[in-house]
Structure 1
């Protein structure tokens, strides 16, 4: 079941009317009783251990199982409720396929012990690893020319997925495959670009947006569709075109988990989006990370006397509510809203909240057509959460 915002107002659908097993039993029993009365003018003597009762219950179970198959098939045919392979098949008529997992990449600098009188070769596939055992291998042949002492080579993680991302410079430093005269190898930038297989929610949104790509006019939804298609770890993308800059499209995007894209991610996205199969020939596409707007969390909360026996549980719920609020708030263009935090704290069992931070603040979502500005909230520091104790209800 997809939870994308576009489907927020679409009601749930059940071809069986949410029939339960007990409901199926009751229905079979009612039908049998009705027919029995028509013949014998009285209710049938149905006892729990009666073979006839057991037979009717068995029939009801078979009927329920058949209805569940019908339910699953109906849900599998609808975009909102399709999952997994069912969703993959819904995307095929639109030419939309699930983005596969990708490998993280990083730049490795190979350094000689001293300049040599002949070219030093770095074979394609040369492996380097971290101390924790994350392996990378060079993607192409490279060489250190005569008189030079180093060369930079692109390397790819050996394991697919996001686990090899965010390794800072200097950590991938163990040369696995020895090369003559090479004294060392180390990464000079942060690894990035690894992504897990595209989620159902992301694929659902792209299928939903895909009809807009049939136009050659470059509508907003089409640009957002292509941006989401770049890699499976693109969590959100917004396209805007300021009135003051005609034929210019800005793409602001975020990675999974509210992570900011790196300069490398932005450059690769821009190359992807500038392909003439994805944009009108006259458009200039500029990809950017949203501007971060900082906010703080600082409050004191109290619980009612009727909840004091469960004070420890309420405290745990409060900690979870604060974390969930941070995740909720980390969304492109979402205003910083303390009311959402108060709502979650109340649901966690809090009686009263003295909210010092955050204060309400408007966050730019790209709706202003006069400027190319998109923002995203960012928590500054650690939340300050003070337990004020128990009060009368």
Structure 2
């Protein structure tokens, strides 16, 4: 699997303003034999030229660096992906499973057309779910299930609990009720530069059809922009288990697992002898309880620092659950709170906990206590 290596920042040309200006002045003085004083009009004119050259140097650096995967962004990154045969994933819509219930058993099959719309009680109809395929409820049966996708791509359709989607917007004969059986998940915005860059970096792993770990992880991530991280492993000969994690550290629902399984079922991806199972990561809950103090010399900044500390704790919790197998690390929490302006931090929990590659940390209760002002 391709690994990201840490390299120092690269600069193709010098863009230090003082150095460029001094070079221009030195060349002029060498050619003319004159010494330019700070207020000399010629020196001021040369300084204005130096500003233009500095801007050009900055553009040269940006343009050259955008040819490297580490620094490319936007359209340049899209073109790099094209070279590797990868495309940026578009915004994905949330999915769920719907159950239609008839008022009575019928002697003939009942059709639920593809695209039948279902909304939420009390909603304005701007956001709804539509069935992805034709559903036929057999004769003598009163219920049938079918997958449905949100009308609005992105995170809008995420989080509808079972039973919340229950308004049939397209009336169908003999259909008494409809409801979602699963939490709607899988909605995400267009793939970010960071996520797309990582997929491009691992794209060579996908060239093999022999079932390497990197290929399974690449193709699983390619299912949807909502999939943030994936771990694939072989628990036994001929068996592969794939564990996806969604953006924001969300645990995927069954609908997302089914979508990933469908992607990996492609014969150009899965070796014929591999039995692939897609499963959710194991949640490892932890609570967050800290007490922090602020320097007495920064008393005027107390409200701002308190807000920054609250944001730092939230950012830590998001970081903690944004990667499979990331150990629960209180040192990271302390570092972020200190950077937010705290003088010292007393964490009670969480304690350091090592996680396996199929586990993900999930925050529980959060208690943040301001201990008061303290001397440096």
- Please, which of 165, 173, 189 is the counterpart of residue 172 of structure 1? 165
Deviation at residue 292 of structure 1 after TM alignment: 1.3
Distance (Å, rounded) in 1 between the aligned partners of 2:208 and 2:101: 51
After superposition, where does 1:259-338 map in structure 2 within 5 Å? 259-330=250-321, 331-338=323-330
Does the 8 Å CA contact 1:297/1:358 hold for their aligned counterparts? yes
2:92–2:226: 8 Å Cα contact kept in structure 1? no
* Deviates most, 325-334 or 54-63: 54-63
Match of 1:380 in 2: 364
How many angstroms does 1:74 deviate by? 0.9
SS in 2 for 1:250: strand
Which residue of the partner structure matches residue 82 of structure 1?
Answer: 72
Once the two structures are TM-superposed, the CA of residue 316 in structure 1 deviates from its matched residue by 1.8
Contact 2:293/2:372 (<8 A) preserved:
yes
Point out where structure 2 has 5 or more consecutive residues left out of the alignment.
none
1:249 deviates by 2.2
Q: Tell me: CA distance 1:125–1:247, structure 2 relative to 1, closer, same or farther (3 Å).
A: closer
Query: Cα offset for 1:326?
Result: 0.9
TM normalised by structure 1 equals 0.84
8 Å Cα contact 1:129/1:173 also seen in 2: yes
Change (3 A) 1:250 1:12: same
Contact kept in structure 1, 2:95 and 2:255, CA below 8 Å: no
**Partner Cα separation in structure 2 for residue 32 and residue 278 of structure 1:** 65
**CA deviation after TM superposition for structure 1 residue 261, in Å:** 0.7
Structure 2 residue 12 is matched with structure 1 residue 15: yes
- 2:215 matches 1:232: no
Report deviation, 1:344. Answer: 2.0
CA deviation vs aligned residue, 1:63-104 (integer Å, no higher than 9, x gap): 344334422321221000001111111122221111222333
Match of 1:129 in 2: 119
CA-to-aligned-CA distance 1:131-166 (integer Å, 9 cap, x gap): 333122233344555555444343332222231122
What's the C-alpha RMSD, in Å, of the aligned pairs? 2.8
Compute the TM-score of the two structures, normalised by the length of structure 2. 0.87
1:189 to 1:121, Cα distance in 2 relative to 1, 3 A: same
User: How far 1:36 moved relative to its partner?
Assistant: 2.0
For residues 226 and 292 of structure 1, do their structure 2 counterparts lie closer, same or farther at Cα, with a shift above 3 Å needed?
Answer: same
Residues 314 and 221 (structure 1), Cα distance of their counterparts in 2 relative to 1, 3 Å cut: same
The residue number in structure 1 matching 2:148 is: 155
Equivalent residues of 1:165, 1:192 under 8 A apart: yes
**Structure 1 unaligned blocks of 5 or more:** 366-373
1:188 CA drift (Å):
3.1
1:21 CA displacement? 5.5
Bigger shift: residues 158-167 or 249-258? 158-167
Alpha-carbon spacing, 1:8–1:258, altered in 2? closer, same or farther (3 Å): farther
Q: Distance in 1 between matches of 2:158 and 2:38?
A: 65
Among 73, 82, 89, the alignment partner of 1:92 is 82
Matched-pair contact (CA < 8 Å) for 1:299–1:353 = yes
Q: 1:228 deviation in Å?
A: 1.6
The alignment of Structure 1 onto Structure 2 pairs a total of residues equal to: 371
Deviation track 1:163-187 (CA, whole Å, cap 9, x = no partner) reads 1122122222223233345444333
Deviates more, 1:126-135 or 1:59-68: 59-68
User: Which residue of 1 is the match for residue 35 of structure 2?
Assistant: 43
